Structure 1
């Protein structure tokens, strides 16, 4: 075996330099924490190499880091902290929307019932006016209202 410099020996262990491994791990930590600097924060490999500032090929050579990435993404459920927060907020908004839809449905039922009652009263009032017109006279009640 030849005598390789320390950095070269470390680089051959994971096929990338320690500096590249550190950049990929820092990018991984930022993405998983929901604090990306250069990407939209989704937990995808494209964002990892862009966030680390390395090429896709370099990232793919870092097999140990990539195995760590895969296990951490699986442990995170495939969602960054920001994505998990947004997903939670979306679920909450959906629950609120469902509540509002139920309330609107109830109010529509009440409105329909009120409209039906008003129509029935209007019909009764019309019949009473017709019956009164045939058999009696109407009295203006406004004079009595102002006195009392």
Structure 2
């Protein structure tokens, strides 16, 4: 039965790598390889580890990026773009905040000078 399993696994490997799956969705994963070969996953991960390693090596040799890897890269690119936008926004807000701080300091200084001066005060106007 082991030889038959190995033949089934190799045939499933060939089909998946060629993009013509019969029993699975065609994803290049061990779970889909097991499904395609009609064997349990643990058969690949425990009994036929050499075939599992061969499958991964053939995927790398083809230069194929699994869908999960491609999705992760897309999410990473989106996150990096969002991070850059947030950095730019942060820099703008810091500049605005520093401007406000200068205005507050200037007004505080002016108020302090008015209090020290000749007693001039701001007196509210009475309403008629």
TM-score range, shorter chain: 0.5 to 0.7
Instruction: Give the root-mean-square deviation of aligned CA atoms.
Output: 3.9
1:120 corresponds to 2:106: yes
Q: Greater CA radius of gyration, 1 or 2?
A: 1
Give the secondary structure class of the aligned counterpart of 2:44: coil
**How many Å separate the matches in 1 of 2:6 and 2:82?**
51
Structure 1: state its 5+ residue gaps.
Answer: 1-10, 39-49
What's the offset of the Cα at 1:127?
A: 0.9
Contact 2:27 2:67 in 1 (8 A): yes
What's the offset of the Cα at 1:59?
A: 4.8
TM-score normalised by L of structure 1 = 0.54
CA gap of 1:139–1:53, structure 2 versus 1, over 3 A, is: same
Contact 2:115 2:121 in 1 (8 A): no
- Corresponding residue for 2:37? none
What's the offset of the Cα at 1:57?
A: 6.0
- Corresponding residue for 1:70? 57
Bigger drift between 124-133 and 15-24 goes to 15-24
Q: Detail structure 1 runs of 4+ shifted over 4 Å in the superposition.
A: 23-32
1:131 corresponds to 2:120: no
- Corresponding residue for 1:54? 44
1:18 corresponds to 2:12: no
Structure 2: state its 5+ residue gaps.
Answer: 33-39
What count of residue pairs does the alignment treat as equivalent?
A: 114
Contact 1:37 1:51 in 2 (8 A): yes
- Corresponding residue for 1:81? 67
What's the offset of the Cα at 1:27?
A: 7.3
1:33 corresponds to 2:20: no
